[in-house]
Amino acid sequence: MTDDQGRSSARGDERRMYSLQEANAALQVVRPLLEDLAECKRGLDVVHGSLLLLTPAQCENGHRLNAIGLEHQMERLVDRLAEGIREIEVMGIELKDIDAGLIDFPALFQGRVIYLCWRLGEDSIGYWHEISTGFAGRRPISEFTGNSA
């Protein structure tokens, strides 16, 4: 069931439903957020890897300040990630994979909730999928819109 703003209350929450046009328009805001999240995640992976290379003995013998600096870097990157993820979630968009920049926009199709699927590198939303099939079940957006490509 949806209200006049396209929100679903099937699970007791007010879930935003996107039209294809709204989802494509939201990409103007979401794309830079996802690019920043992907960059933060890569940075976090590098810092974490550097921290793992330090042995406990090294941390006690001259590398302690280096370890503390890396830990502070990790904290800043985790905070940036958390803030970016919150911004996306507040918009009612589901973040599926930070590394790939993969997101899903809930939408209604033939009376059921589906996902309009997009990832970094794509110009616009070109695919959709059933909630149960995920990325592997992506289908051309022409099936959603009824237009042949």
Q: How confident is the model at residue 55 (pLDDT cuts 50, 70, 90)?
A: low
CA–CA gap between residue 20 and residue 44 (Å, rounded)? 33
pLDDT of residue 73 exceeding 80, the answer is: yes
Question: pLDDT tens digit string along 96-135?
Answer: 999 999 999 999 999 999 999 999 999 999 999 999 998 8
pLDDT for the residue 9: 39
* Residue 47 tokens, joined: 């810092």
CA angle, residues 111, 126, 89, in degrees to nearest 5: 70
Rounded CA-CA distance 44/133 in Å is 30
The DSSP letter of residue 119 is: E
